[in-house]
Amino acid sequence: MKVSKQAKREAKQLFRSCVADGLLDEQRARQVVKQVLETKPRGYLAIVSHFLRLVKLDLERRTAKVETADALPPDLQAKVQAGLARAYGPGLALSFARNPALLGGMRIKVGSDVYDGSVQARLTALQECFS
């Protein structure tokens, strides 16, 4: 569905009204969606659609997934968490996962940013150089 410029503008205004201290207020976002659906302004479906897209993007920016070949010890998890908090600010939700396919190293994904320092990525890059 094509979203008009007016609907995008209104959705951005609504989204900004739901952000407090740089973090999205979930309760306020629910109230905004409920209010828009009740009042049904012109193009309300496009407004809600774009608003939900903005919320989804914000949640992705505030979520980090750390994959390692083997489980990280708690002290190293704390160092990774501190480094990511320094780079991306407070309020970052971290999840640590074990992925043996990486062979070694670490892959970190925050929103659309991917930092891949895994052995698997290096081997793949090396294989592409020889192809």
- Measured CA to CA, the distance from residue 48 to residue 52 in angstroms comes to 6
- Give pLDDT, residue 81: 94
- pLDDT computed for residue 1 by the predictor: 62
When computed from its CA atoms, the radius of gyration of the chain, rounded to whole angstroms, is 20
Mean pLDDT, contiguous 10-residue spans, the chain (131 residues)? 86 92 87 92 91 92 93 94 90 92 92 91 90 79
Rounded distance between C-alpha atoms, residue 128 and residue 131, angstroms: 5
CA distance 13 to 32: 11
Annotated domain spans of the chain: 5-60, 62-130
CA distances from 36 to 78, 94, 118 (A): 42, 32, 46
